Amino acid sequence: MHIADFLNRLPAAAKPDAIDGAQYSVQLALSEPFHLQIQDGVVSVQPGDAPAPDVTLAAEDADLIAILSGRTSGVMAYMAGKLQIDGDLMLAKQLPDFFDSAKLA
Amino acid sequence: MSRIFGAVAQNGYVVRDIHAAMRHWTEVMGVGPWFFFERVKPDNFTYRGQPSGMEMSVALANSGDQQIELIQQLNDEPSMYKDFLDRGLEGLQHVAYWTTDYQAVYDKALGLGFRVGHEGQVGGPQGRFSYFDAEAHPGTVIELSDISGNKRSLFEFVKKSAQQWDGSNPIRHFG
């Protein structure tokens, strides 16, 4: 799956309870840059760079897809060097929990 | 400052009960927050040149610029942590030096006669670490750690979190 197609599924897969009250900016350094805005109970996906992200995740496209869709532990990917995190480590850990993995499978 | 390795960046404590140790450091010593990694199995881990399946829990926090590391080994596989505990010791086991030029410092240490006790990697190939077997008294094992990869941003985050810590959420479970 192309990374843009996958990321465009994130807004519909967001769990309302999980993102309620959350206000985050997440930069994704992938084969092409994207960023997520999580605000007012809505997730939006935009190409390019966020001005001041809370966290930046860098990974191969397939690895990030596996992490966000719950097929791979983000912590294990981080420990193996497949996921680089710069910024809010705990937000990075929490990010997959914002989404219903069944809707991303 | 070490003339060989630079400034000590971390003090590493080997403990038998990491949860009790974190509680002591937060409640009695006021140091935190702690970032807790429940199961860490370093890649390519060897003890005196032989593969070892050592697994541990690790917790990190900062007191100013100094990082404090707590380590509890979870199994009986060979390691310098196990050696330390088997001698009846608990507490400060090593001081760590961080570098972005790991191979050069590692080679320099070997050239000076240091011998590797155990080594491995966490966070990919740029996350290597080695413990040199040059202990004079407890707390003087030397760790050399490569921070040119994931560890650098992790350590910066731990330090920044300590600077901003108001005492809330003292133990932050990472994985």
Mean pLDDT of chain B: 96
**A94 in contact with B, Cβ within 8 Å:** no
Number of domains in chain A: 1
Cβ within 8 Å, pair B174-A93 = yes
Is residue A95 very low, low, confident or very high in pLDDT (cuts 50, 70, 90)? Answer: very high
C-alpha–C-alpha distance, residues A61 and A3, integer Å? 6
In a domain, A48, yes or no: yes
Quick one: average pLDDT of B98-118?
Answer: 97
Q: What percent of chain B has pLDDT over 90?
A: 91
pLDDT over threshold 80, residue B175:
no
Q: Is B153 in CB contact (< 8 Å) with chain A?
A: yes
Residues whose CB falls within 8 Å of the CB of residue A55, separated by 6 or more in sequence, listed in order? A24, A26, A27, A85, A86, A87, A88, A89, A91, A92, A95
Residue B169 forms part of a structural domain:
no
Q: Would you say residue B5 lies in a domain? A: no
Compute the nearest-CA separation of A66 from chain B (Å). 17
pLDDT digits (tens, 9 = 90+) for A25-79: 999 999 999 999 999 999 999 999 999 999 999 999 999 999 999 899 898 898 8
Q: What is the pLDDT of residue B43?
A: 95
- The number of domains in chain B is 1
Where does residue B55 rank: exposed (0-12), middle (13-18), buried (19+ CB within 10 A)? Answer: middle
In a domain, B50, yes or no: yes
In a domain, A103, yes or no: no
Q: Token match 């991303």: residue?
A: A104
Residue to test with chain A: of B148, B152, B157, B171, most A Cβ within 10 A: B157
Residue A70 distance to chain B (closest CA, Å): 15
The confidence band for A80, taking pLDDT boundaries of 50, 70 and 90, is confident
Mean pLDDT of B106-133: 96
Under an 8 A CB cutoff, do B175 and A86 touch?
A: no
Residue B27 included in any domain = yes
CATH number for position B105: 3.10.180.10
The confidence band for B137, taking pLDDT boundaries of 50, 70 and 90, is very high
Question: What's the whole-number mean pLDDT along residues B146-164?
Answer: 93
User: What integer is the mean pLDDT of B1-15?
Assistant: 94
Lowest mean pLDDT among B7-21, B67-81, B147-161: B147-161
Confidence of residue B150 (pLDDT cuts 50, 70, 90): confident
Residue A72 lies inside a defined structural domain of this protein: yes
The pTM (predicted TM-score) of the whole model is 0.91
For residue A93, the domain's CATH number is 3.30.1050.10
Measured in Å, how far apart are chain B's first and last C-alpha atoms? 33
In a domain, B84, yes or no: yes
Q: What CA–CA distance (Å, rounded) separates B164 from B156?
A: 13
Residue of B nearest to A92 (CA): B174
CB B158 within 8 A of CB A73: no
Confidence at residue A105, expressed as pLDDT on a 0 to 100 scale: 81
Asked whether residue B3 is domain-assigned, the answer is no
Instruction: Tell if the CB–CB gap between B175 and A88 is shorter than 8 Å.
Output: no
Quote ipTM for the complex.
0.78
Runs of H (alpha helix) within chain B: 18-23, 80-86, 102-111, 150-163
pLDDT for residue B174: 85
Q: Which pair of tokens denotes residue B30?
A: 């006021």
In a domain, A44, yes or no: yes
For residue range B60-93, list pLDDT tens digits in order: 999 999 999 999 999 999 999 999 999 999 999 9
Query: What is the per-residue pLDDT across A30-44, written as a single tens digit (0 to 9) for each?
Result: 999 999 999 999 999
Interchain contact, A73 vs B153, CB within 8 Å: no
How much is the pLDDT for A76?
86
Whether A88 is covered by a domain: the verdict is yes
Q: Which pLDDT belongs to residue B163?
A: 96
Report, as an integer, the average pLDDT of B21-38.
97
- Residue range(s) defining the domain that contains residue A26: 3-97
Interface test with B, best of A63, A79, A84 (most B CBs within 10 A): A79
Query: Which residue of A73, A80, A85 is in closest CB contact with B153?
Result: A85
* CB proximity under 8 Å: A 31-90 to B: 73-76, 78-82, 84-90
Domain membership of residue B126 as a residue range: 10-163
CA distances from B7 to B10, B96, B102 (A): 9, 9, 15
Sole residue written with tokens 């994207």: A34
Which residues, 6 or more positions from B148, have their beta carbon under 8 angstroms from its beta carbon?
A: B100, B101, B102, B126
* Distance, CA of B23 to CA of B55 (rounded, Å): 22
